[in-house]
Amino acid sequence: MDHNFDLIVIGAGPGGYTAAEHAARQGLRVAVIERHKLGGCCINYGCIPTKAFIHASSLYSSLKNCGQFGLVAGETGFDFPAVCAYKDDAIARFRESVGQEFDQLGVVFIQGTAQIVREGVVSVTAAQGGKEVFRARHILIATGARAYKPPIPGIDLPGVVTSWEILGTPHWDYDQLVILGGGVVGVELASVFNAFGAKVTIIEQAPRLLGPMDREISESLEKMLRRRGIDIYTEASATAIEQTADGRLCCRFRMKSGLPGQLEATRILVAAGRRAYLDGLTADGLTLETKDGRIAVDSNFQTSIPNVFAVGDVMETVQLAHLASAEGVCVVDKLCGNPPSVLLSTVPSCAFVELPVIPTCIHVNPEIASVGISEEQAIRHGISVSCGRYDIRTNGKAIISKESSGFIKLVFESHRKVLIGAQMMCPRASDMIGEMATAVANEMTARQLLSAMRAHPTFNEGIGEAIRDCLEKSR
């Protein structure tokens, strides 16, 4: 094997494999080094298995409630190992598709643990212990992040797990599940196991679930989860985890008022965020500047080491697979001297505030999605806004499918009516948010958006209704 490359990518998750494929299409000779499996955390222990669980649990819930459509399903149940086998098949098929793309593009995949020895030089240690040295003009770090376990007494007891273990273990022991953290991971897995019949409790330190999201979405989500039987304690912190005499777990926690509480559980899921994976990334004597535990980069994703770049969860506070992919593409475009293929943010002439063009999606039922900024954020920036809102319960597709919970909210700058944000909590929100991201990136106005016809009956019609609501309010 030729050990010289134009680009070496460390990490084969979405940030890494997307950058590698994009670079190979530009004619660069590329190698990707991964210590575990092709696809990184996202494909193997994150997005793909989680969404497979969500799909299976949603179908199970639909079967149990099919009588509302005049259907009879008979006795329903689930085989958790079989559900996990379905999930594993989805992972394998996705991983295989990435591997086939590598083969077609000539990307070299190297399995082992990479360490940057000096500028342009990477040492790789194989699982068996052998070492090889590779060289490249440029190096891209995309090592991602791993689940964070806060220093709570008992956090390492058997039965206290992260999403990594839950998504990788085909054994049901979730009759009583306590989840520490009300962010995306906690909320999505709470919905999955609640649908499968587990008794689920969420303990969240912040005043509300999904803190960075629009307040109305957070509040609506919390009400919905409570209606489904999920207990939620906000402004509460776990203080200790103990093993009970019968082998179960006891989670002790304290609320803002100071009152203590305790919950028995068969499993405790720690969903308290993720921390950048930096272990052994550079050799002794080679300094890689970090900030708050993440790799520090400049506006071009350049690290403190010349010709070494970083993308994705290893340097970002916003940890999203599609953001890592977009950043990887941006780095390759810069290296090749090409104009950017994708925008990460924009500053519309009407607002003079940097808007993120990064869709955020949460796969609960109904789905949650957002892009740009919320009304609350716009007001904090001093932007005068006009909002349009549509309640999904009057939508034809929602009436047919009996999925009538949720809304669409669009945020326009009040003078030119340029779209600067969208928040959705409705069926198919994760599919529809792409149109809104395109509109924000291109400074599209309400009237421009309204000029596009939307098919009937679709959930997407709700976007048009929200636009009309904004324009009617502004008359």
Residue type, 301: F
* pLDDT confidence band for 351 (50 / 70 / 90): confident
21 occurs within a structural domain:
yes
Handedness of CA 239, 191, 146, 432 (dihedral sign): negative
- Pair 388, 409: CB distance under 8 Å: yes
Tokens for 207, please give them.
Answer: 């005043």
326 and 449 in a single domain? The answer is no
262 and 287 in a single domain? The answer is no
168 and 248 in a single domain? The answer is yes
- Pair 340, 350: CB distance under 8 Å: no
- Residue 172, C-beta contacts closer than 8 angstroms, at least 6 positions apart: 80
Whether omega for the bond prior to residue 427 falls within 30 degrees of 0, making it cis, is: no
* pLDDT confidence band for 20 (50 / 70 / 90): very high
DSSP state of 442: T
User: Scanning the structure block, which residue is given the tokens 């048009």?
Assistant: 464
Q: pLDDT exceeding 90 applies to what percent of the chain?
A: 91
What number is the average pLDDT over the span 219-224? 95
Check residue 306 and give its pLDDT: 95
Tokens for 380, please give them.
Answer: 């904090």
Range of the structural domain that residue 65 is part of: 4-146+275-336
What number is the average pLDDT over the span 346-374? 93
The closest alpha carbon to 309, from 292, 324, 293, belongs to: 324
- Using one digit for the tens of pLDDT, what is the confidence trace for 376-408? 999 999 999 999 999 999 999 999 999 988 999
Kindly report whether the global pTM for this prediction surpasses the value 0.85.
yes
The closest alpha carbon to 322, from 336, 311, 308, belongs to: 311
- Pair 26, 338: CB distance under 8 Å: yes
399 and 418 in a single domain? The answer is yes
The answer, yes or no, to whether residue 349 has pLDDT greater than 90, is no
Task: Count CA within 13 A, CB hemisphere, residue 10.
Answer: 33
**Which of 223, 240, 272 is where one domain is finished?**
272
124 and 166 in a single domain? The answer is no
- Distance CA(181)–CA(188), nearest Å, equals 11
Tokens for 442, please give them.
Answer: 């291109």
Q: pLDDT exceeding 70 applies to what percent of the chain?
A: 100
201 and 315 in a single domain? The answer is no
Beta bridge partner(s), residue 250: 242, 264
Q: Is 467 left (phi over 0), alpha (psi -120 to 50) or beta?
A: alpha
- Using one digit for the tens of pLDDT, what is the confidence trace for 417-457? 999 999 999 999 999 999 999 999 999 999 999 999 999 99
State the virtual CA torsion across 472, 401, 433, 209 in degrees, nearest 10.
100
Check residue 357 and give its pLDDT: 95
The answer, yes or no, to whether residue 75 has pLDDT greater than 70, is yes
420 occurs within a structural domain:
yes
Check residue 139 and give its pLDDT: 98
SS3 call for 328: helix
Tokens for 277, please give them.
Answer: 């994976």
Tokens for 15, please give them.
Answer: 């940030």
CATH at residue 192: 3.50.50.60
300 occurs within a structural domain:
yes
CATH at residue 441: 3.30.390.30
- Distance CA(199)–CA(165), nearest Å, equals 19
Check residue 127 and give its pLDDT: 79
* pLDDT confidence band for 211 (50 / 70 / 90): confident
141 occurs within a structural domain:
yes
- Distance CA(305)–CA(7), nearest Å, equals 15
* pLDDT confidence band for 350 (50 / 70 / 90): confident
154 occurs within a structural domain:
no
368 and 306 in a single domain? The answer is no
101 and 250 in a single domain? The answer is no
Instruction: Provide the CA 416 distance to its chain's centre, in angstroms.
Output: 32
User: If residue 80 lies in a helix (H) or strand (E), which one and from where to where?
Assistant: helix 80-105
* pLDDT confidence band for 212 (50 / 70 / 90): confident
- Distance CA(379)–CA(467), nearest Å, equals 20
**Which of 245, 272, 299 is where one domain is finished?**
272
The answer, yes or no, to whether residue 182 has pLDDT greater than 70, is yes
- Using one digit for the tens of pLDDT, what is the confidence trace for 298-331? 999 999 999 999 999 999 888 999 999 999 999 9
21 and 126 in a single domain? The answer is yes
Check residue 173 and give its pLDDT: 93
Let me know if 456 is a catalytic residue. Answer: yes
The string of DSSP letters for 422-454 reads EEEESTTHHHHHHHHHHHHHTT-BHHHHHTS--
189 occurs within a structural domain:
yes
140 and 12 in a single domain? The answer is yes
**Which of 272, 299, 327 is where one domain is finished?**
272
Q: Within 10 A of 281 (CB to CB), how many other CB atoms are there? A: 21
Average model confidence (pLDDT) across the chain: 95
- Using one digit for the tens of pLDDT, what is the confidence trace for 257-282? 999 999 999 999 999 999 999 999 99
378 and 407 in a single domain? The answer is yes
What number is the average pLDDT over the span 221-227? 96
- Using one digit for the tens of pLDDT, what is the confidence trace for 109-120? 999 999 999 999
Phi, psi dihedral angles at 64 (to 5 degrees) = -65, -25
- Distance CA(453)–CA(375), nearest Å, equals 26
122 and 41 in a single domain? The answer is yes
- Pair 269, 186: CB distance under 8 Å: yes
Check residue 1 and give its pLDDT: 65
Handedness of CA 356, 361, 362, 365 (dihedral sign): positive
Q: Is 402 left (phi over 0), alpha (psi -120 to 50) or beta?
A: left
- Using one digit for the tens of pLDDT, what is the confidence trace for 130-146? 899 999 999 999 999 99
348 occurs within a structural domain:
no
- Distance CA(93)–CA(221), nearest Å, equals 32
The string of DSSP letters for 256-311 reads TTS-EEEEEESEEEE-S-EEE--TT-B-TT----EETTEE---TT-B-SSTTEEE-
173 occurs within a structural domain:
yes
* Total domains, the chain: 3
